[in-house]
Structure 1
Amino acid sequence: MSQKFTLDELRELMQACAGVEDDIDLSADIDDIEFEELGYDSLAVLEVASHVQRKYSVPMPDECVDYMKTPRLAVEYINEQFAKAGV
């Protein structure tokens, strides 16, 4: 059985890695809101990806930010990386 990365895990990483803007509610329906609108630039997304890579030993190339534009797309991308790595 493979591991599945969830939106809740992503929310925790977003808060831990880059913090949260005062006017952003990460517990809201953020699935399809672009990271930039949530106050997270590409460096913040890279930091989240780097944490995933370290924690789960899953390759997360720098180009991942091109695919991880929203939280939903990020979770999908991370789960694809899990599947490729057999996690």
Structure 2
Amino acid sequence: MTDDGITLPDLVTALRECAGEDENVDLGGDIGDRTFTDLGYDSIALLETSARMADRFGLDLDDDVLTGLETPTELLRYLNEAFTKAGEV
């Protein structure tokens, strides 16, 4: 995490910890706009990863919103909005 919030490397670390990594996918590349399905992650993996991020950064996340997110960029936007709100408390 940086002063600007949660980063793609933070998210990739959580994805690897929670759901592993498809050997055919390079998570070190430009994955921001690829769908989680293309990256080899299903909705369960996304929810587990999001729960890990919520615990790590003290976030309050809505599972209904999470299930509608399709790319790492969308998830990061949502996580950082939640992070900003958590800092306002």
Q: TM-score with structure 1 length normalisation? A: 0.89
Structure 2 spans left out of the alignment, 5+ residues: none
Give yes or no for the alignment of 1:10 onto 2:5.
Answer: no
Percent identity over the alignment is 35
Letter in 1 for 2:49: V
**RMSD over aligned Cα atoms:** 1.5
Letter in 1 for 2:82: Q
Give yes or no for the alignment of 1:77 onto 2:84.
Answer: no
Aligned counterpart, 1:21? 22
In the alignment, the residues of structure 2 paired with residue 47 and residue 73 of structure 1 have an alpha-carbon distance, to the nearest angstrom, of: 16
Q: TM-score with structure 2 length normalisation? A: 0.88
Residues 33-81 of structure 1 show CA distances to partners (whole Å, capped at 9, x for unaligned) of: 0001111001100001100111111111211323431011111110000
Aligned counterpart, 1:32? 33
In the alignment, the residues of structure 1 paired with residue 81 and residue 68 of structure 2 have an alpha-carbon distance, to the nearest angstrom, of: 11
Pairs within 5 Å for 1:40-59: 40-59=41-60
Contact conserved, 1:32 with 1:71, CA < 8 A, in 2? yes
Contact conserved, 1:7 with 1:71, CA < 8 A, in 2? yes
Aligned residues: 86
Of stretches 43-52 and 58-67 in structure 1, the one that deviates more from structure 2 is: 58-67
Residues 7-58 of structure 1 show CA distances to partners (whole Å, capped at 9, x for unaligned) of: 0100111111100011010001101000011110011000011001111111
